[in-house]
Amino acid sequence: MKHSITLKNIVFIISITCLVSLIGCSKKVVYNAPSALSKEYISELSNEKKIAYRFTTSAKENYLIFDSILSPKFYSLDQSWKGDKKTFIQKRNSDSSFSKMKPVRIIQDDSLVAVHSRVLGDTLRFRWDILRFKEQKVQEHWSNVNDSIGLNPNKHSEIDGPTIPTQLEKTDVNRSLINKFIKENMIRKEGGAMKFFSFKKYIQHNRDVGDGLSGLLWAMIKMSFQGNTITFKHNYHVIAEGNFVLSATEGYVGKEKTTFFDFFRIENNKIIEHWDIIAPINEFLYFQPVEKIKNE
């Protein structure tokens, strides 16, 4: 169902936005483009992270790498490369739209590892790859990817900002925070979302949204005029390491099936930074059990 917005509501929202702009703006932050992860940093990672790095960066023609790191039971839920081990390797290696991937972030939460990368090829893209490990082999794979459109209203790209997780002792607390935020506010729409954010520090990397509360309110006005709604239906992963948390969800933008990968930086139990990749999907692949998909 589409949002409806009246002139009275528009005036109220603009008034609140102007007030917030005066008293509640977030501090302006300027980032340089993030460097690719160094060899020294990669050498100190866990075995699973090292394998995830090889998974994303290995050249297309290097069949032996994928044969060695993928489980015989491997299955990918990538939209373009969906399939078992053999199918995935063939599809990935025949995909002419990319030449290489350059990871800038890798986080791990038990058996799950998530990699945030630049994708170079016919255009610049950004993507997340989520890998589930079993016995030091990649057994399952999920992903989301979108083209870059440049800088957002506050001149942030979809990938710049801090790249190394810190405050590792806060992992469980931060995972619980995002679990609660996604379930209560994005899926059940119970309200009270503001309490999860520190808007004086809030930095936004969404392509259409600016920093702070004022940026969020202007985005809401724009969506209302466009008649768009965002609906979260199925949250299938919340992956945390220290102050970084990645959430993977399926739902709708309007009536279009969509997958949402939302990445958060947390400080003092508040969300202070957000990146996302939002892309249309043909069907809700990701939420379905792998065995069900294999038997279709």
> For the chain, which residues make up each domain, given as ranges?
7-30+159-280, 39-148
Sign of CA dihedral 31, 35, 40, 42: positive
Domain 7-30+159-280 fold: Nuclear Transport Factor 2; Chain: A, (3.10.450)
What is the rounded distance in angstroms from the CA atom of residue 252 to the CA atom of residue 55? 30
The reported pLDDT for the residue numbered 15 is 45
Within this chain, domains 7-30+159-280 and 39-148 share the same CATH topology: yes
Cβ contact 185:179 at 8 Å: no
Give the helix ranges, DSSP H, for the chain.
7-23, 39-43, 47-57, 63-69, 85-93, 171-181, 212-226, 290-294
pLDDT one digit per residue (tens) for the chain, 296 residues: 344 444 444 444 444 444 444 444 556 788 888 888 999 999 999 999 999 999 999 998 888 999 999 999 999 999 999 999 999 999 999 999 999 999 999 999 999 999 999 999 999 999 999 999 999 999 999 999 999 888 888 888 899 999 999 999 999 999 999 999 999 989 998 888 889 999 888 898 887 776 766 656 655 656 555 667 889 999 999 999 999 999 999 999 889 999 999 999 999 999 999 999 999 998 887 766 555 545 54
- Look up the CATH architecture of domain 39-148: Roll (3.10)
